[in-house]
Amino acid sequence: MTRVYNFSAGPAALPEPVLRQAAEEMLDWHGAGMSVMEMSHRGPEFMSIHAQAQADLRELLGVPSNYRTLFMQGGAIAENAIVPMNLMRGRAGADYIDTGAWSQRSIAEARKFGRINVAASGADGGYTSIPPRAHWRLDPQAAYVHICSNETIGGVQYHWTPEVGEVPLVADVSSDILSRPLDVSRFGLLYGGAQKNIGPAGLTIVIVREDLLDGAHPLTPDAFNYRLQAEADSMLNTPPTYAIYVAGLVFQWLKAQGGLTAMAERNRSKAALLYDCLDATAFYRAPVARECRSWMNVPFKLHDERLDAAFLQGAEAAGLKQLKGHRMVGGMRASIYNAMPIEGVRALVAYMKDFERRHG
C-alpha cells in the first residue's frame, strides 16, 4: 500500500491514524458486534459517539455555553439558504462581504430571501485581497453580516475578526474551521461542510448563538430549522452517523496533537514554507496579497502556463496529487489542511525547486 500526498481542496486528506482506527473498528465497534454505519442513531452506542464528538468540538473551539453546536446536512451550499431562512428575523436585508467565488455563491442564494447589500467587495483587486474594514458600508439595521473566512478557490483568508457592532457576524468557515483558535463569542453563527478540514462529506457543522434560534421564517423546512434541530440535539432527522463518527475521531486526533494552538503553529509553518518557495523566484507566482494569504489553500501560477501540464504530470508521478487549480482561476492550488503533514509540503517544495531547475 502507498499513500500519496493529497493536496485536494475537498473532499480532502484525513489523518492516517484516523483512517486506521476507522478501519480497525469497521466490523465491530467497541464490542458492539456491528459497524457504526449499522447502528441506530438513537441507540446508546451511537448516542455516546455523538455526545463525545459534540463535547470534543466544543472543547477544541472553546464554544461558550450560550452557543449550540448542530450537526446538520446539505453542506455550506445548503447553509447559504438556511442561514437567511433562519436569521432574517423579519428584517429587510443582510450585509455580505464579497471576497471571491464562495462569497458570491452565498450572496446569489441569499438574494432569494431578502435584500442583500454587498457592503464591500474585493472585485476591483481581482479578489487578491480583503477590503479593509474601514471601507465596508454596513447597514446598522441588517439582520446579519456575512463573511467567508477562507476563500477556498481564491486562497484569500481573514487573519482578523471584523468588528460589526451589535449586528450578528456570520461566517462560512468550511475550509479553515479547526485550523487555528477562533473566538466564537465574536460571531453570531459559524457554518461549514466537514469535507475540507474535518471529516467525510455529508456532515455540516453549525455553531449558533442561542438568541438567534427563534427567528426562522414559517416556510423553513423542519430539518433546516435551527431551533428545532437544537431542541432535537441534531436528531430531528437521521443524522449522517458515519460522518459524525469519523469527525469525532478527527476531534480526538486534534486534541492529541495539542489542540488548535498547536495546529495553528503547524499550519502557519507549512504555509510559510510554500509561500517562501513561491516568493523566492519569478518562475512561480502567488497572486494573493501577503496579509491575506490563506494558510489552507495556496493558489499559484507558473510564469509560463505552457508548462502547467508538465508540472502536473511530474507532480503526479512524484506522488503529489490534485494540484490542479480550480477551473475558475487556473494554475495550481495546494490545499494543505490540518491532515497534510509538513513532510508533504517539503516534498512539494522540493519538487517545485527541481522542476524550476529543469525548466527555468
Cβ-closest position to ligand PLP: 75
> What is the DSSP code (8-state) at residue 126?
T
Q: Count other Cβ atoms within 10 Å, centred on residue 307.
A: 17
Size of the site for ligand PLP (CB under 6 A): 12
From 56, 172, 176, 253, the catalytic residue: 172
Closest by CA position to 163, among listed 130, 187, 131: 187
| Binding-site member from 32, 77, 223, 228 for ligand PLP (CB under 6 A) | 77
Closest by CA position to 95, among listed 81, 106, 82: 106
Minimum distance from residue 176 beta carbon to ligand PLP (Å): 8
Contacts of 55 (CB under 8 A, 6+ apart): none
From 29, 95, 98, 102, the catalytic residue: 102
Angle between helices 241-257 and 259-279 in degrees, nearest 10: 80
Rg (CA), the chain: 21
By the rule CB under 6 A, 273 interacts with ligand PLP: no
Measured from the CB atom, is 50 or 146 closer to ligand PLP? 146
Q: Which stretch binds ligand PLP (CB under 6 A): 16-24, 45-53, 70-78, 178-186?
A: 70-78
Minimum distance from residue 112 beta carbon to ligand PLP (Å): 16
Per-position x/- string for 18-57, each x denoting binding to ligand PLP as judged by CB under 6 A, each - no binding: ----------------------------------------
From 56, 95, 196, 324, the catalytic residue: 196
Sheet holding 169-172, edge to edge: 67-72, 204-209, 189-193, 169-172, 145-148, 93-98, 115-121
By the rule CB under 6 A, 241 interacts with ligand PLP: no
By the rule CB under 6 A, 239 interacts with ligand PLP: no
Minimum distance from residue 102 beta carbon to ligand PLP (Å): 4
By the rule CB under 6 A, 193 interacts with ligand PLP: yes
By the rule CB under 6 A, 76 interacts with ligand PLP: yes
| Binding-site member from 8, 121, 152, 234 for ligand PLP (CB under 6 A) | 152
Return the amino acid letter for 104: Q
By the rule CB under 6 A, 75 interacts with ligand PLP: yes
Contacts of 80 (CB under 8 A, 6+ apart): 105, 106, 109, 110, 172
Measured from the CB atom, is 11 or 319 closer to ligand PLP? 11
Minimum distance from residue 24 beta carbon to ligand PLP (Å): 28
Contacts of 195 (CB under 8 A, 6+ apart): 10, 11, 12, 75, 201, 202
Q: Which stretch binds ligand PLP (CB under 6 A): 55-63, 71-79, 124-132, 342-350?
A: 71-79
Angle at 14 between CA 11 and CA 15, to 5 degrees: 170
By the rule CB under 6 A, 191 interacts with ligand PLP: no
By the rule CB under 6 A, 10 interacts with ligand PLP: yes
Distance CA 253, CA 341 (A): 13
Q: Clarify whether 102 is annotated catalytic.
A: yes
| Binding-site member from 196, 266, 293, 324 for ligand PLP (CB under 6 A) | 196
Q: Find out whether 177 and 156 touch, Cβ atoms under 8 Å.
A: no
Q: What string of H, E and C letters represents the secondary structure of 242-299? A: HHHHHHHHHHHHHHHHCHHHHHHHHHHHHHHHHHHHHHCCCCEECCCCHHHECCCEEE
Q: Clarify whether 196 is annotated catalytic.
A: yes
Q: Point out the residues that are catalytic.
A: 102, 172, 196
- Residues near ligand PLP (CB under 6 A) are 10, 75-77, 102, 148, 152, 172, 174-175, 193, 196
